[in-house]
Structure 1
């Protein structure tokens, strides 16, 4: 039976901005929300009906979360699997611990891509000196990534030869790693796929992304440089990956388009994603409402993009001038632009590289959205070329 709006309580493990936007979407449908997060000042905890301030492995807090909620999700992929397993003994948990565990480990993730029939970059798993010695020459130059706990470019090293590879493996603490062959990239894409407990699957339009220093900077939808056939392939691949895990909820699958036109999968995130924030203003159903629908067993209808959009990620650097003095960004100037929709995350302190908010700029045409987004970049002091 579905958990109907206005008659159920939904729980969230994690109190960051993704949890905050999930809570807003759930509350708009009439659900009550409980957040479990150890930070007393967490953005999601500030807007939920209840905030359990406890560690994610606090057994008593998890028991209380299960007692108060009818279904529970997570807003970050590194939530301890044990927490999800405990909650799943008595409540609907989406996504489930087994799917999240695959996404938490790059080696398992790559194996799942292979099993799903979706091409990824050639790779090798490194767990020992023997694995290091056995690395094929063809994988160099490459990128060495820790198998666990890497995100936004963290836990990664570019290596040109065997000497650099050995040094990087030592530098990363000789933890389990994945070495990926460095490929000639033309574009970066992502696809949001949503799967329900009954196996139904819907996908959002393909998103074209630009990263700077390993952090997402710009997302454009529709993807301006990707033909219809490649977009259809990306959406089919994302659906196959989600289905193969028995996934329930919103999953973001990231892809590379190579210079020769081939599509390869890069990685996935078991939650709503930074590159999907455009859905809040450019689609009839946001990625956060879709997460609510999937975990509550509500209908998953194909989302509709009603406006071309550019999403700009707003990092804490904007709150400081060139001399490092704190300042307030010119929000009034930005909000005067037609189609500009500002979302700030309620974080008390700005820091360089910290995700503080995002700006969605919609237009009647893709070019109009792009022009207005570039005006916003000029006002904020962001690079205006992408």
Structure 2
């Protein structure tokens, strides 16, 4: 524990890029950090002291707690029991309820519905017969998912018709007993949106502008903020997020992912942490999601979540582009996570900022050519070219 007159030390369970960016946001505020992660090469360890230990190593967690003033996490699959051990010794935010809810898709969607937040139809699946029954009830196409431990498109199988039932069960059925399965109705939607919001210890609540997102193979490829949404859609999205945060007694930043189904917004899932679709806030908002998360968990006043202009985030998977080439693009801010290159791995991102949609479109077009990413920027350009 720190002593009077010294900086607070924030302990983070997880040492990935989210922890890394949290550290970078907190250092100018006079904060210190300690990390715990099972991976010795966790990239946040380049920015703060890293303790390498298993999530269920009670002795390591106890020693970790002795050196921090409060705890948070950057990874929703941290075992709730690990958070419990820390919470018995130091304040820990977000709390167990939020973590446990987000770790189980069935629990999560059931809670959404109880709060009046609409979702696509869903049913628990326990066995092969249950999959067939759920498919008949919900209709096809549908998506079979693991209830736990799925992210970035992992642990999912899309069923287009009855002929896919056997293949889906072959792919995921062996996980029915260990992590559970859920079948979700496929809903035709116009686009994917997210609301990234923050709630303080005091109950103060704020949200950044709604973000539009594009995914490739289940992984976020690009985000545009602010999204072009009606006042009604904005109020609906933020209302859903506020109701969810208040029901959980949430403290910190979180994201609520939504499908724009035309007449209504349907909740897909929540992330009880800072979120990939909020990375644009580092340069594109008056206060980033990372700084506001720290403000919230420390009990400090929240910062202004307004946008500075318009921004587009581009994720880099597998390898980073040449830094010199990228930085020659006007308005581009580069973030290298310090990870070893690997196919499909998130290794960094860029945020392009501009004062208007037209200026952002020009800069994106430039980036697409310079970085050989024309396909990645194309859907964002299409949206911007039709913006007012």
Q: Which residue number in structure 2 is paired with residue 332 of structure 1?
A: 324
Distance 2:64 2:97 in 1: 20
TM-score scaled by length of structure 1:
0.92
Structure 2 Cα separation of the partners of residues 210 and 178 of structure 1:
24
Q: Which residue does the alignment assign to 1:113?
A: 112
* 1:280 maps onto 2:282 in alignment: yes
Structure 1: runs of 5 or more not aligned: 320-328
Q: RMSD of the alignment, in Å? A: 1.8
| 5+ residue gaps, structure 2 | 380-388
Matches of residues 271-350 of structure 1 in structure 2 within 5 Å? 271-316=273-318, 318=319, 329-347=321-339, 349-350=340-341
Match of 1:187 among 186, 191, 194: 191
Q: Report if aligned partners of 2:195, 2:237 keep a CA contact under 8 Å in 1.
A: yes
Mapping of residues 1-386 of structure 1, within 5 Å: 7-48=7-48, 50-129=49-128, 131-135=130-134, 136-172=136-172, 173-175=174-176, 176-224=180-228, 226-258=229-261, 260-316=262-318, 318=319, 329-347=321-339, 349-382=340-373, 383=375, 384-386=377-379
Decide whether aligned partners of structure 1 residues 138 and 39 sit closer, same or farther in structure 2, where only a CA change above 3 A counts: closer
Q: Paired residue for 2:383? A: none
Quick one: structure 1 residues 4 and 219, their matched pair in 2 at CA, closer, same or farther if it must change by over 3 Å?
Answer: farther
Offset at residue 7 of structure 1 (A): 2.6
Deviation at 1:339, TM superposition (A): 0.9
Over 3 Å counting, the alpha-carbon distance change for 1:24 and 1:301 in structure 2 is: closer
User: For 1:3-42, what per-residue CA distance to the aligned partner results, in whole angstroms no more than 9, with x for missing partners?
Assistant: 9996311000111100000111111200110011122222
Q: CA deviation at 1:118?
A: 0.5
Q: Residue 227 of structure 2: SS of its match in structure 1?
A: coil
Structure (1 or 2) with the greater helix fraction: 2
Structure 2 equivalent of residue 324 of structure 1:
none
Q: Call closer, same or farther: CA 1:306–1:363 in 2, change over 3 Å.
A: same
Q: 1:5 to 1:127 in 2, by over 3 A?
A: farther
Q: Secondary structure of the equivalent of 1:144?
A: strand
Output the TM-score relative to the length of structure 2: 0.91
2:385 aligned residue: none
1:195 and 1:248 in contact (8 A); partners too: yes
